[in-house]
């Protein structure tokens, strides 16, 4: 369940913390007070898109944080583990998100940095949110099919079908890529063969271009290099006034000095080491100079070879590794084109086999769906009877698609006959949004008994519904609340009276700023809120008595 929700600097909310309870939590308040801000805050924690316009004017950032207590944290822990995060401790999950006024944001799960994608994945396992316009999704065939598969626990069978369907789609794409006219095929092969021959004849070697550049520098400047190395050797070792001869004289003096001054022994050793290192340096310089040759033929070959590397880099890729990768791909493409007919025949054979598997798997899924459809129709019809459709009948019709679809072989259509004697019509033909809202609540109620998602959120599901029908909707939400935690924003007092916990959202002006607050109400305060919902701000003895009766009816 959702234990608490903390919101700071979001829209009109400066800072509020709400402690939710099990069962049905109702949230009421006047229009514009900010009730839906709470649902928006929860949506942010579940991966909704963040907008810097949400940040309260004058604040640097907004922050939302929710604490969940999970009876079974296994599914969430598995998702956390896949993301490299530690699991929940004692079933407690804390999700936090900030959005700055500049538009940047950060997310945490149990105080560990997380991605928005992870928030959404966790949210899909924990919360089912239904907004004031979401009932329109009930008219969508994809949503209807998802609802049927959820009710029948058919996701595993559907995933098996979808895997084969994806395999078929990939094979069809491969075959389509091979479909080209002979003239175009010949042009592609000519180009590939030319590119392959050009690169292979160059016999490129990774790292050779750098070595060639260095050698070219040495050969082109051979005279100057030899002049400089001779200078170094002369100054270090060869001349009478060389550094080595001066150091030898210093060594003799240090040997005598060491007999007189003990510290000079270290200086004597250092001078000996310097002499050895100077000789080694001279040998290195001499060895290098012996390798230098001012060979005009070698220089011309180096320049030609380097020009070839430069040409291929400009034409194909900017480095040797990239050119060799291009060569490997070109060989593969050429082979595929040369064996196109054989590959097309192989793909056709594989497509035939995959098509047979797809048809068999889809037929099994369709058969199960038809069995589930009858049960789903009966279950939703029963729920609709409780929501005021005493003679209403719900129907789930499945028809075979002309071609296999991404989700199966079936086209689905929800049908509804609200009143006795009326023909069954497609649900999309119903004009009343109030009727569709009740059908959606019936569907949610049915799924609640089969769904492992622990938290259901309804934002004004009772829109366009009034009068006695509110009692039926409130009772149904309370019934769902016996198995799930339910959060419901409502404008109907008959629905609000059914809540196990009641919160009121209001706003006030202080120091020239508007602030939204939320607080739980009970006793007389709850009666006052229900009376306001019944008759507005001007409470009368009649509205107060009605509010008390309404509350007593649903709390006894």
Residue 475 inside a domain? The answer is no
Q: What is the mean pLDDT of residues 77-96?
A: 91
Does one domain contain both 107 and 209? no
Q: Domain end: 336, 357, 383, which one?
A: 336
Q: Residue 412: pLDDT band by 50, 70, 90 thresholds?
A: very high
Q: What is the mean pLDDT of residues 380-391?
A: 87
Does one domain contain both 36 and 120? yes
Does one domain contain both 93 and 118? yes
Does one domain contain both 504 and 551? no
Tokens linked to 369: 């769906």
Tokens linked to 257: 């000095």
Does one domain contain both 216 and 326? yes
Tokens linked to 523: 């006793």
Does one domain contain both 509 and 525? no
Burial class of 445 by CB neighbour count within 10 A (0 to 12, 13 to 18, 19+): buried
Does one domain contain both 58 and 93? yes
> Is 80 exceeded by the pLDDT of residue 299?
no
User: To the nearest whole percent, how much of the chain has pLDDT over 70?
Assistant: 90
Residue 345 inside a domain? The answer is no
- Per-residue pLDDT tens for 60-74? 889 999 999 998 888
Q: What is the mean pLDDT of residues 190-215?
A: 86
Please state the domain count of the chain. 3
Q: Residue 537: pLDDT band by 50, 70, 90 thresholds?
A: low
CA distance 109 to 91: 13
Q: Domain end: 319, 336, 353, which one?
A: 336
Q: Which residue has the tokens 């002979």?
A: 182
Does one domain contain both 34 and 49? yes
pTM greater than 0.75 (yes/no): no
Does one domain contain both 1 and 126? yes
> Is 80 exceeded by the pLDDT of residue 547?
yes
Does one domain contain both 331 and 217? yes
**CA 374, 379, 382 angle in degrees (round to 5)?**
125
- Whole-angstrom CA distances from 356 to 251, 286, 401, 411 are 95, 79, 16, 20
Q: What is the mean pLDDT of residues 158-173?
A: 96
- Whole-angstrom CA distances from 224 to 213, 239, 286 are 17, 20, 14
Residue 122 inside a domain? The answer is yes
Three-state DSSP class for residue 423: coil
Q: How is residue 99 annotated by DSSP? A: E
- Whole-angstrom CA distances from 529 to 28, 47, 490 are 8, 33, 12
Q: Residue 181: pLDDT band by 50, 70, 90 thresholds?
A: confident
Q: What is the pLDDT of residue 536?
A: 63
Residue 21 inside a domain? The answer is yes
Three-state DSSP class for residue 33: coil
- Whole-angstrom CA distances from 499 to 28, 30, 210, 322, 505 are 11, 18, 78, 67, 15
Q: What is the mean pLDDT of residues 182-188?
A: 81
Q: What is the pLDDT of residue 431?
A: 52
Contacts of 458 (CB under 8 A, 6+ apart): 130, 441, 444, 477, 486, 487, 488, 489, 490
- Per-residue pLDDT tens for 247-296? 777 778 877 787 777 888 888 888 888 878 887 888 887 777 776 666 66
- Per-residue pLDDT tens for 431-475? 566 677 788 888 888 887 666 678 888 887 776 666 677 888 888
Q: What is the pLDDT of residue 24?
A: 93
Does one domain contain both 505 and 533? no
Does one domain contain both 299 and 325? yes
Residue 86 inside a domain? The answer is yes
Residue 446 inside a domain? The answer is no
Domain extent, residue 549, equals 521-556
Instruction: Tell which wins on pLDDT, 288 or 518.
Output: 518
Residue 151 inside a domain? The answer is no
Q: Which residue has the tokens 């509205």?
A: 543
Residue 90 inside a domain? The answer is yes
> Is 60 exceeded by the pLDDT of residue 556?
no
Q: Domain end: 303, 336, 369, which one?
A: 336
- Give the domain CATH number at 108: 3.40.50.300
Q: Starting at the edge strand that comes first in sequence, how are the strands of the sheet with 408-417 ordered?
A: 393-405, 408-417, 425-426
């Amino acid at each position: 369940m959702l234990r608490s929700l903390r919101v700071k600097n979001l829209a009109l909310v400066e800072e509020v913390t709400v402690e939710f309870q099990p069962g049905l939590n109702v949230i009421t308040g006047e229009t514009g007070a900010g009730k839906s801000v709470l649902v928006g805050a929860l949506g942010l924690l579940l991966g909704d898109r963040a907008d810097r316009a949400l940040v309260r004017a004058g604040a640097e950032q907004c922050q939302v944080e929710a604490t969940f207590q999970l009876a079974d944290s296994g599914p969430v822990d598995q998702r956390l583990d896949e993301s490299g995060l530690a699991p929940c401790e004692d079933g407690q999950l804390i999700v936090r998100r900030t959005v700055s006024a500049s538009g940047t944001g950060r997310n945490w799960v149990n105080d560990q940095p997380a991605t928005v994608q992870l928030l959404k994945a966790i949210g899909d396992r924990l919360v089912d949110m239904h907004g004031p316009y979401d009932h329109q999704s009930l008219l969508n065939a994809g949503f209807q099919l998802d609802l049927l598969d959820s009710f029948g626990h058919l996701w595993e069978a559907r995933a098996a079908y979808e895997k084969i369907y994806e395999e078929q789609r990939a094979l069809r794409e491969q075959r389509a890529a091979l479909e080209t006219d002979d003239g175009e095929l010949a042009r592609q092969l000519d180009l590939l063969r030319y590119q392959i021959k050009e690169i292979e004849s160059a016999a490129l070697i990774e790292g050779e271009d750098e070595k060639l550049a260095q050698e070219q520098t040495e050969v082109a400047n051979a005279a100057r290099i030899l002049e400089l190395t001779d200078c170094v050797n002369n100054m270090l070792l060869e001349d009478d006034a060389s550094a080595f001869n001066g150091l030898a004289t210093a060594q003799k003096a240090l040997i005598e000095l060491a007999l007189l001054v003990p510290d000079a022994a270290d200086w004597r050793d250092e001078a000996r080491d310097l002499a050895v290192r100077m000789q080694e340096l001279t040998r290195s310089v001499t060895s290098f100079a012996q390798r230098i040759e001012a060979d005009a033929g070698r220089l011309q070959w180096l320049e030609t070879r380097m020009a070839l590397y430069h040409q291929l880099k400009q034409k194909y890729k900017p480095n040797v590794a990239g050119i060799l990768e291009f060569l490997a791909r070109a060989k593969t493409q050429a082979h595929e084109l040369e064996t196109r007919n054989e590959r097309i025949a192989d793909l056709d054979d594989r497509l035939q086999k995959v098509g047979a598997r797809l048809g068999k798997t889809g037929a099994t899924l369709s058969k199960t769906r038809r069995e589930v459809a009858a049960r789903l129709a009966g279950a939703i019809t029963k729920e609709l009877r409780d929501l005021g459709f005493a003679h209403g009948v719900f129907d789930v019709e499945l028809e075979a698609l002309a071609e296999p679809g991404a989700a199966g072989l079936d086209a689905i259509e929800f049908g509804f006959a609200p009143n006795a004697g009326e023909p069954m019509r497609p649900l999309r033909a119903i004009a009343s949004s109030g009727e569709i809202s009740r059908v959606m609540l019936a569907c949610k109620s049915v799924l609640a008994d089969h769904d492992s998602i622990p938290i259901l959120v309804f934002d004004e599901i009772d829109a366009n519904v009034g009068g006695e029908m509110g009692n039926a909707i409130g009772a149904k939400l309370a019934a769902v609340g016996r198995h799930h935690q339910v959060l419901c924003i409502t404008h109907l007092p008959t629905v609000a009276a059914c809540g196990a916990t009641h919160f009121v959202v209001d706003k006030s002006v202080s120091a020239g700023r508007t602030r939204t607050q939320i607080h739980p109400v009970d006793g007389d305060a709850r009666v006052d809120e229900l009376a306001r919902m019944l008759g507005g701000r001007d409470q009368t003895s009649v509205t107060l008595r009605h509010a008390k009766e309404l509350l007593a009816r649903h709390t006894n």
